[in-house]
Structure 1
């Protein structure tokens, strides 16, 4: 009982302290050359923030870049030398956000700061094209605290980034947001339009996998109950099916959603089944993989920009539809969908590349996909203009 009361008092005191310092920092001057980047509330050097920063580095801009990191993972996170690390959820974190000219994030901010009129907040949002319902459209399944934070966050955002006409309409309708939308594609996907051979070599080296191996990436989304039991993919059957169809050996990489990344210790791995949940840059894994299997994760849309095969393994469609709901009929997607391991095996064996690529063209036109490849450049152009050409 006493321990519970102590924790409650500690939480209340911390909240008061943080709110007080947020007010104090509001009166600190904005540093015109400072940029603060947050990736999934403290994750490593990846997603759109990385590719924006890499474009900044190419231009040799004289800026102070701060990367927000999880204090428990800080020692493991490697960043370029010119970037400063600051722990997520610290008073220093609030200070950096409060005094930065530019704040960049790819999800909702749960650490509050009092944004000044001269500051600019760019949110790239991590979903290229939402499949499962989000924000206002999933309000009945969201906590009251999330909805509160989301509405507060949207009021502070100056620019959201979109990859398609479909996503732009969704942002305006469902994100509690009425600001500007940059219809330029996601910065993280710029790299998917370029020569990627060097990245493949780097990832193979990082994971200690032979370069002659073919790669299947399994990247399912999370479930509200965080149970991994739904992911009953038969890995050994998959390896055997792929080997027979393509006459070569394969390795399976498993990437859990960032919301349940701590559950990766429950994964059963081997020499040919490797956990890559904590690999910092998902886009590098997408580039490295030859085939993607997911369920309802929007990474399917990123991956298919490279016109490589995507298969959906979704044994709990009925339950997930009731839990979350979708914007699109899954059967109208350009990706084959299976509910059992045997169905998945048959789909892989029956896969026709020419039909798949044609279906992709039709789907991309339907959602109004914006031309990509230059998003990072356009955002850094905006940053330079905002900073006055520094």
Structure 2
């Protein structure tokens, strides 16, 4: 494998050397995503704002949610070659995950790379923090692939997360820009509209309290969330489950809704309570002041195999549980720790909410001028 990677890097470098002979297009920005096959909410909002601020801008988007199938690998290989041409001819590249061609290749000095990571914080360990762990990547392979190198800026959430961004990306704090993601603006601006849309589609939610369960992705760890079904009073509550895109949940319980047509950022508008674990959706919920509980049934296993940066037992006292029974007893009692949520918001959210899209767009425009 090591030899194959080294040969591949040389091959790509030779091709890229030729592509760099093409002239740079001054108003061109490249968007790269491995999170989905279409532009994410954050990218779409950034694109719209950039077009408003700079009508002459040319935005090229390449989105490829790589899967392990043969066709998926071939397709990603083609998109990698496409991305190399646009990396050679663009002034700015914005990406939301690791993209091999960005980190492996040596770029023109005129190119600015902005890593717009796809989460608002670093609750769980990731990147360099998890190398050679059971739920992480091979350290040898990651270093051969120059993981997370060549970034000029990294978009981050509140400054309390900075040490973990630095550790995850193996970078320095001067590259971090603590402005948050466009989805913050979306959550604040569309809460009422989204609530109306969801209730129109699922009118049964209007008569009950809604619990949204949204667990994080577990690599090599089984989901064991089902005990929640035994302790929820479905006469009082509706449970909406939103599994991670990489680890979807199937449930046919009559009191459970999956709402496949809605994203989690839309469903947050209608929930009365969020139950999660190590997922950054907790930060999104904090933006809307949603009462959040943490169901950490695999705390010991998860911390050993993956690791966490912020322990919910400490960051949200009275809201984190390893067992479903006391969790639901506390939820149904109505005695929520409002102070813990207020302290969490103050510590972990960006200082200024509602301006993330504008600030990110201005950062891109500044690199184009």
Which bracket does the TM-score occupy, shorter chain normalised? 0.7 to 0.9
The structure 2 residue matched to 1:328, chosen from 310, 317, 332, is 310
> Is 1:212–2:200 an aligned residue pair?
no
Query: Is 159-168 or 173-182 further displaced after alignment?
Result: 173-182
Once residues 71 and 125 of structure 1 are traced to their aligned partners in structure 2, the CA distance between those partners, rounded to angstroms, is: 15
Runs of 4+ deviating beyond 6 Å: 9-16
Cα deviation, 1:259-297, whole Å, max 9, x if unaligned, reads x24xx3x61236653445785x54333334332211111
1:84-123 alignment, distance < 5 Å: 88-90=76-78, 91-112=81-102, 113-123=105-115
Structure 1 residues 1-390: aligned runs within 5 Å: 18-59=12-53, 61-70=55-64, 88-90=76-78, 91-112=81-102, 113-141=105-133, 142-144=137-139, 147-148=142-143, 151-154=146-149, 156-178=150-172, 179-203=174-198, 208-210=201-203, 212=206, 215-225=210-220, 227-228=222-223, 230-235=224-229, 237-238=231-232, 240=234, 243-244=235-236, 250-256=238-244, 258=245, 260-261=246-247, 264=248, 267-269=250-252, 272-275=255-258, 281-334=263-316, 336-353=319-336, 355-356=337-338, 358-367=339-348, 369-388=350-369
Question: Hey, what's the Cα distance between the residues in 2 that align with 1:147 and 1:231?
Answer: 32
CA contact (8 A) 1:161 1:181 kept: yes
CA 272–285 in structure 1, closer or farther in 2 if over 3 Å, else same: same
Q: Does the C-alpha gap of structure 1 residues 340 and 251 become closer, same or farther in structure 2, counting only changes over 3 Å?
A: closer
Q: CA deviation at 1:46?
A: 2.1
Question: What's the secondary structure of 1:32's corresponding residue?
Answer: coil
Give the distance between the partners of 2:144 and 2:38, measured in 1 at CA: 23
The TM-score, its normalising length taken from structure 2, stands at 0.81
User: Does the CA-based 8 Å contact 1:314-1:338 persist in structure 2?
Assistant: yes
Distance apart, 1:21 and its partner CA: 2.7
Native 8 Å contact 2:51 2:57 kept in 1: no
Give 3-state SS (helix, strand or coil) of 2:177's partner: strand
1:312 to partner: Cα distance: 1.0
Shift in alpha-carbon separation, 1:146–1:209, aligned structure 2, 3 A: farther
For the 8 Å contact 1:293–1:311, the answer to whether it is kept is yes
Q: Is the 8 A contact 2:213 2:239 kept in 1?
A: no
Q: What is the distance in 2 between the residues matched to 1:173 and 1:12?
A: 26
Unaligned runs of 5+ in 2: 68-74
Residues 135-163 of structure 1 show CA distances to partners (whole Å, capped at 9, x for unaligned) of: 33333413125632674533x11111122
User: TM (normalized to structure 1)?
Assistant: 0.77
Distance in structure 1 (CA, Å) of the matches to 2:252 and 2:17: 48
CA RMSD of aligned residues (A): 3.4
Q: Would the aligned equivalents of 2:125 and 2:308 in 1 still touch at CA under 8 Å?
A: yes
Equivalent residues, number = 351
User: How much does 1:220 deviate?
Assistant: 0.9
